[in-house]
Amino acid sequence: MKRKDFLKFGALLTAGFGMSHSVAAESGALEAQGEELFKQQPLPYGYNQLEPYVDALTMELHYSKHAAAYCKNLNSAAVQSGIQKGMTLPDLMREISKYPAVIRNNGGGHFNHEFFWGCMQPGGSSINDQHLLAAVQRDFGSVDRLKEKFSEAALKIFGSGWAWLIVDAQQKLQIVTTPNQDNPLMDVVPVQGTPLLALDVWEHAYYLHYQNRRAEYIKNWWAIVNWNQVAALYG
Ligand code: MN
């Protein structure tokens, strides 16, 4: 990755997944309780704002129950695993092989969901960024072909997992999938890369509204994709 891009990505991740300790440190009460290393960022839109593609109840449960639990469980396990304050989520992912499964599962769960919320926006968007568009055309032929390949990969995931658009070590765009709460930053996945876009295909992400119709969830999801974030991450 070019240094410019790395810095941009780093800045965005830092902004998006900022550590809570500076805020927590200002509160004596929090200090006394033991401060939390990791924190959920506020959802960048209301629970109902991705409707009708993702329903409000699914968003509420997904953010306030499922994702909140990953964050809470990560904080509990982080102390026991000797994770120091100042450790960023992306850095933790990059050395996840050093930690027990509870950190991999909950750390991955926390990172993935924080990333995923930003992949969506009310009303959706299209690719306006020429640099990103040129890369998509170079590596997939067209935006439609990228969507087809990504959708196919997401549909084929057996059980729970994620579909990703990444920039790989050769600076090429690639579509990869990860099982459970793994992600492409982790030093345990077959193809590592910088994530640009993610889709959660765990049943909790769609079952209330779509039941077993994962293909329909994936197809509709494109209507709320935040391509502006993808472009910003690509640099
Ligand atoms: Mn999820």
Domains and CATH numbers, the chain: 1-12+55-235 (3.55.40.20)
Which amino acid, 44?
P
**CA 65/CA 1 separation, integer angstroms:** 35
Residue 115 pLDDT:
98
Q: Is the pLDDT of residue 27 over 80?
A: no
User: Ligand 1 center to residue 162 CA distance, Å?
Assistant: 9
Q: Kindly report which listed range (34-38, 95-99, 198-202) carries the lowest average pLDDT score.
A: 34-38
Rg (CA), the chain: 17
Whole-number mean pLDDT of the chain?
A: 89
Query: 13-19 long-range contacts, Cβ below 8 Å, gap at least 24?
Result: 13/88, 13/89, 13/90, 14/88, 16/41, 16/114, 16/115, 16/118, 17/41, 17/88, 17/89, 17/90, 17/111, 17/114, 17/115, 19/85, 19/86, 19/88
- Mean pLDDT over 202-222 rounds to 98
**Contact indicator for 19, 88 with CB cutoff of 8 Å:** yes
pLDDT band at 35 (very low <50, low <70, confident <90, very high): confident
Mean pLDDT of 34-62: 95
- List strands edge to edge, sheet with 161-167: 173-179, 161-167, 194-200
What letter would DSSP give residue 41?
P
Q: How far is the CA of 90 from the centre of ligand 1 (A)?
A: 18
pLDDT value for 67: 98
- Ligand 1 mean position, distance from CA 67 (Å): 6
CA of 141 to the centre of ligand 1 (A): 30
Reported as a single tens digit per residue, the pLDDT across 115-173 is 999 999 999 999 999 999 999 999 999 999 999 999 999 999 999 999 999 999 999 99
pLDDT of 36 above 70: yes
Measured N-to-C along each axis, helices 143-156 and 130-140 cross at an angle, to the nearest 10 degrees, of: 60
